[in-house]
Amino acid sequence: MSKVDINIDGINISVEEGTTILEATKELNIDIPTLCYHPDQTIKGSCRVCVVDIENQVNLSAACCTPVWAGIKIRTNTKKAREARKLVLDLILADHNQECLSCVRNGNCELQDLCMELNIRDTKIEKINHKLPIDDSNPSIVRDESKCIKCGRCITACHDVQGVGAIYNVDRGSHMRISTPPGKKLNEIPCVYCGQCINVCPVGAIYENNDIQKVWNALDDESKHVVVQIAPAIRVSLGEEFGEEPGSIVTGKIVSFFNRVGFDKVFDTNFTADLTIIEEGHEFLHRLNNGGKLPMFTSCSPGWVRYVEYFYPELLENVSSCKSPQQMFGALVKSYYAQKNNIDPKDIVVVSIMPCTAKKAEAVREEMNDSGYQDVDIVLTTRELGQMIKESRIMIKELPEEEFDNPLGISTGAAAIFGATGGVMEAALRTVYEVVTGEELSNIDFVSLRGIDGCKEATVKVGDLDVNVAVANGLENARKILDMVKEGKADYHFIEIMCCPGGCIGGGGQPILGTNEIKEKRIKAIYDIDSMSKLRKSHENPVVKALYEEFLKEPLGEKSHKLLHTHYSPKS
Amino acid sequence: MTKTENVLRAIEEAGNTEDKLIEVLLKVQERSRENYITENQLEEISQELEIPLSKVYGVASFYSLLSTHRRGENVIQICNSGPCYVRGSRNVVNMFESALGIKMGEVTDDGKFSLEFTSCIGSCDVAPAAKINEEVCGNLDKKKIDEIINNIREGVK
């Protein structure tokens, strides 16, 4: 592509034709304010806060959506541009619920930041006081329309990234809102609770249903035995809540924090991730050898499970009956662990820390009571854990690194990679190969399944069979594979689907803003944990082996079926 | 005609692809005596065209040609854009309201008329203007407004 010579704030620079003004200013380290712009989304150009002055042009232009041309002279810091940006903010503030002090995004709000940076000290425009509802109809996601600034990022996430389409623009002009269909709440429409809308919201208009107080209450109740599990993705992302570099691994400090605030046991979802591989791997082989429904889909991601229940009910038989690691953990704690330690399961509170908002809804599914009690009691997102740590005033950065408790805290590298797209498939292949062939797998790194690409595939020779596998992350990518399967155009045997882009490290409960650049760093950290692990195959986990010997007896056995497997029902 | 038949016929005529959404919405509304698209119909259109309900509703609520609320057999849309405002559209509103005994956004008890605003209809030369069903009426004053309403009531037009 040819280059064009342009001038920004008196500096000459040559950029590729088609470059936007915003991109060009970044090359010169000039910082243009933006609000509706998101680096991983299509350009919207609706908020107009990025306007700049162009020589010989009467009107200002939005930097995010104006491509440069040869000879263009751009001025980013004129009085006219500064005043226009302030006016844009003033207009937004006129229609914005400014209860910042009690807002979930206080301190991490793009609108707050801009008001500070652009020196907004007084607002001149009369406030419109729209009485708008708060929708907290479901266990996962709360929408507060009074905070919405109508940037449309959530719509892009819901329609274009996830292909779900739960929310959209309603009405026109100053009456325009972003909302669910008329008179319907999120729990009455096909929302999968993935929370991708939360991750891109610049303000506090969408957030998770907050359950922190329930955890404090449980810890304060001396009659309760409170057990916590953390998902694979938490350890590589929580640090961001405390200003650590994305991809910092903070596992030991999280364990240490839990010990300080009085959890009775600190366990690891990675343990049941290993267990999932054993059960799911055997389920796959059972399907393969007994003419069962293929391809088999993974079932760890509750947003994906909701999606297939709503949108592809005809493929439900293809979904593995394995519960997710979170739910296997809850069921085991209130059965195996309770028996072994002589604790009445009714006194046990299972807390999960998940990168996910859909996990909150998964925990209260009526199928998830196989221990005789609700298997998982309280689910917090990574962000809520960050909030809880801040509230405790414990300085997590200063804590020593501590180890998970035995036995449900022991895991392998195969479990760690559950947190990244492609990880479940890679972990499964490491085990399936060795179970089928009885030989040691020489190269256990399935690099073609790694990375942030939306769809990936590979063929792996397992004994005499070429096993065709596919991996999709983000539901719009999943849709492509599902349509192929539905039309009989795919010859895959095994398919991993993760609801969120990048897998769980990009989950709807993760620190904001998790751009693709940040997600890639989290993914790298996940694979670092794997490569540093002594054990890297789920079937080598000694505690999983002991669990089968002492309790479960065999994969897909009677106990497994009762505690570790589930069923799904069409929702449409 | 049942609601489903109405939707299916509109889709048969317009086509069942996503790009036909506005055409389908217009046809469904045209066949409705109350000049609007019901929630049920929006859901049926969403299913038939495979477009999320939120988007179908978003489109239907965006255009003033379309309505998701029950309207009168005759829809009176008063322009509230600048030129009409300057030429007294506020008075036009008052005159229609008192002649019909309803407020903006309401439907008369007999279901004959409803009142609403529209953005510019391109008739600034005859401002203040309103659209009565498919017809634009300009230079509105009390006499004209009474005449329009009487003509419709008496079935002249």
Query: pLDDT by residue (tens digit) across A232-259?
Result: 999 999 999 999 999 999 999 999 999 9
- Cβ contacts below 8 Å, chain A against chain B, sum to 43
Query: pLDDT by residue (tens digit) across A38-95?
Result: 999 999 999 999 999 999 999 999 999 999 999 999 999 999 999 999 999 999 999 9
**CA distance, residue B133 to nearest chain A CA (Å):** 21
Residues contacting residue A225 through CB under 8 Å, at least 6 positions apart: A264, A265, A343, A347, A348, A349
Q: What is the pLDDT of residue B3?
A: 63
Q: Which of A178, A209, A240 is the last residue of a domain?
A: A209
Could you state, in order of their start, the residue ranges of all structural domains in chain B? Answer: 3-62, 74-153
Query: pLDDT by residue (tens digit) across A334-372?
Result: 999 999 999 999 999 999 999 999 999 999 999 999 999
Residues of A annotated catalytic, as ranges: 280, 283, 300, 320, 359, 362, 367, 504
Q: Which of A151, A179, A209 is the last residue of a domain?
A: A209
A320 and A396 in a single domain? The answer is: yes
Q: Provide the CATH number for the domain around residue A18.
A: 3.10.20.740
CB contact under 8 A, A181 and B54: yes
CA count, 13 A, side-chain hemisphere, A563: 31
Which residue has 């009107």 as its token pair?
A59
As for the ipTM of the complex, it is: 0.86
A143 and A252 in a single domain? The answer is: no
User: Are the C-beta atoms of residues A254 and A404 closer than 8 Å to each other?
Assistant: no
**CA distance, residue A327 to nearest chain B CA (Å):** 31
Residues 44-83 of B with CB under 8 A from A: 51-58, 61-64, 68
- Closest CA relative to residue B52, chosen from A171, A501, A163: A163
Residue A382: domain span: 213-564
CATH architecture of B74-153: 3-Layer(aba) Sandwich (3.40)
Domain contains A114: no
User: Are the C-beta atoms of residues A427 and A418 closer than 8 Å to each other?
Assistant: yes
The per-type count for chain B, helices as H runs and strands as E runs, is: 7, 4
Q: Provide the CATH number for the domain around residue A415.
A: 3.40.50.1780
Domain contains A104: no
Would the pLDDT of A182 be above 90? no
Overall number of domains in chain A: 3
A303 and A448 in a single domain? The answer is: yes
Three-state SS sequence of A141-203: EEEEHHHCCCCCHHHHHHHHHCCCCCCEEECCHHHCEEECCCCCCHHHCCCCCCCHHHHHCCC
What single-letter DSSP state applies at residue A422?
T
Query: pLDDT by residue (tens digit) across A161-173?
Result: 999 999 999 998 8
A204 and A232 in a single domain? The answer is: no
Would the pLDDT of A133 be above 90? no
Q: How far apart are CA A562 and CA A545, in angstroms?
A: 19
A165 and A253 in a single domain? The answer is: no
Would the pLDDT of B40 be above 90? yes
Residue among B51, B57, B64 minimizing CB distance to A170: B57
Is A189 an 8 Å CB contact of chain B?
A: yes
User: Are the C-beta atoms of residues A378 and A354 closer than 8 Å to each other?
Assistant: no
CB contact under 8 A, A182 and B52: no
Region A272-298: mean pLDDT is 97
Q: Which of A179, A209, A239 is the last residue of a domain?
A: A209
Region B88-111: mean pLDDT is 96
Region A206-211: mean pLDDT is 98
Measured at the alpha carbon of residue A311, what is the angle toward residues A307 and A316, in degrees to the nearest 5? 75
**CA distance, residue B46 to nearest chain A CA (Å):** 11
